[in-house]
Amino acid sequence: MSDEVITSTTKHIPARATLPWLVGAAVYAVLLTLGPRLLSDPDSYSHIAVGRWIMAHGAVPTNDPFSFSMHGAPWISFEWLSQVFYAAAYDFFGWNGVAALAAAAAALAFGLLTRFLLRELSPTPALLMVMAAIVLLAPHLLARPHMLTLPIMMIWAAALVRCMDRRAPPPYWALPLLVLWANLHGSVVLALGLIGPAVLEALLGQKRSEWPRVLLRWLPFIALAVVACCLTPYGPESLLIPLTTLGLGDALQWIGEWRPQDFGHFGAFELLLLAGIFALSRGVTLPVVRMLVVLGLMHFALAQVRNADLLAMLAPLYLAAPLARQLGTRVDDDAAGSARAVNLTALAVMIVATGLALGSDMRPPQRNTPEAAVANAGLAKAGPVLNDYSFGGYLIFAGIPTFIDGRGELYGGSFIARYNRDISLADLPDFLKLLDQYKFGATLLAPDTPAVALLDRLPDWQRVYSDDVAVVHRRRDAPKQ
């Protein structure tokens, strides 16, 4: 009897049953502790405003209702469901609710990543890969629609990778996820792209004589996946959004998250990239399809900063099984077990973190919130306002028509490029032309914008307000408030 007691008390708690909960709880608690960091993107304002508009009208917009420069132009809110969720969270719990919703989505995504990696790997390499993913994703952990799609992306990708690892049939059960993904965010086209590696590896794993049978197995699944991605209020139009965004061309260079990686300063991305190269130099090899996937994800991450998310979350899934075979750290399917006490503790941490977060006073950072400038300068009645790009979200939130905001697909590449050239005074004559063309009654720009110094010297313009966040100029002949 004593031997049984000793064995029971020293029995290890199964990692697969506890680590996903612990990782999720830790990520959730840390993100809520850093709550304002989640709200640091200026588009969080506009997403809430759009969600409120949708709830108020009981419909999704098909034309722009928020700007004066593009008012009435064709525009779709391809992230409409995420925006409704964020708006509802804000209406019920304020900014605390918005931060909690984003943190919960991120925590669930990392918990799922941990769970899926532990199917193949032992805890140490699995946790190292999760930590690397967190570091890569950290700059983009923001209260934006893409956060709500992360758990869906993880389940969908893991289902396809499972098919590759087990040579299993297509995961038809996962198709409803695409309907949800398509309404949450325009990146659902990625889901279709991830089917390709699964099909290719299935073909390479069979003789050529078996290829027709393999294709017949996957083609119905692909067709249904395309249909699922089109089940939105806009039909298949949402699938074209990534092409529209990439079609902005050189204008993307003006938007930080769309720029290539900057290796001028040593950072986390470069560190992890060098670590990966070192691992490959030590004899780690990958099947050809997995290598192509990882190289493709690396290309996207190098080309645009925001795509480091895809490398962070997807590459570990494709690497797990090949690494397990080489490292000899494969985890048996029956490794999961009961660890109720640990899981309940993790759940309690999440509940306490939620309570503390909802009881605190979270707000977006001041640099994206020209609240004082808008109120003190009477911008609501100043006529058309030439606004800073980063202030567009707040103006939509405040009900003031914008000249420009974060909806690049609405404005187009030439409009965005002209705006940036003009306010940076790279094209001074065109800036003066812009002021007259749109008959601006006021400007709302960041203090370090080159155009601010010029407006101080133009006889038709007068500085009426300034602080550390924004500077307001008004035309001297504009109506006084």
Please state the rounded mean pLDDT for residues 400-411: 92
The span from the CA of 254 to the CA of 408, in Å, is 11
Please state the rounded mean pLDDT for residues 306-314: 88
pLDDT number for residue 3: 41
Closest CA relative to residue 287, chosen from 252, 323, 253, 313: 323
Pick from 8-22, 196-210, 418-432: least confident: 8-22
Strand-strand pairing, 442-445 and 385-387:
parallel
Close Cβ partners of 369 (under 8 Å, ≥ 6 residues apart): 363, 394, 469
Residue 228 clears pLDDT 70, i.e. is over it: yes
Written in H, E and C, the secondary structure of 86-123 is HHHHHHHHHHHHHHHHHHHHHHHHHHHHHHHHCCCCCH
The span from the CA of 217 to the CA of 200, in Å, is 13
Which tokens belong to 458?
């133009």
Which tokens belong to 189?
């086209």
pLDDT number for residue 378: 87
Q: How far is CA 344 from the centre of its chain?
A: 30
Residue 165 clears pLDDT 50, i.e. is over it: yes
Please state the rounded mean pLDDT for residues 263-287: 74
pLDDT number for residue 5: 39
pLDDT number for residue 210: 87
Confidence of residue 242 (pLDDT cuts 50, 70, 90): confident
Give the mean pLDDT of the chain. 86
| pLDDT, tens digit (0-9, with 9 covering 90-100), for 103-160 | 999 999 999 999 999 999 888 889 999 999 999 898 889 999 999 999 999 999 999 9
| pLDDT, tens digit (0-9, with 9 covering 90-100), for 349-390 | 667 767 766 667 788 888 889 999 999 988 888 889 999 999
Please state the rounded mean pLDDT for residues 285-312: 86
Helices (H), 360-457: 371-376, 392-398, 408-411, 413-423, 428-437, 450-457
| pLDDT, tens digit (0-9, with 9 covering 90-100), for 18-45 | 888 889 988 998 998 887 889 999 999 9
The span from the CA of 149 to the CA of 472, in Å, is 38
Task: Work out the angle at residue 351's Cα, subtended by the Cα atoms of residues 346 and 356, and round it to the nearest 5 degrees.
Answer: 125
pLDDT number for residue 10: 37
pTM for this structure?
A: 0.89
CB 469 within 8 A of CB 367: yes
| pLDDT, tens digit (0-9, with 9 covering 90-100), for 50-76 | 999 999 999 999 999 999 999 999 999
pLDDT number for residue 362: 81
Taking the CA of residue 457 as centre, how many other CA atoms within 13 Å lie in the half-sphere pointing to its CB? 5
Percent of the chain scoring above 90 in pLDDT: 56
Other CB atoms within a 10 A radius of the CB of residue 301 amount to 22
Pick from 23-32, 106-115, 179-188, 219-228: least confident: 23-32
The span from the CA of 264 to the CA of 240, in Å, is 34
pLDDT number for residue 278: 74
CB 23 within 8 A of CB 30: no
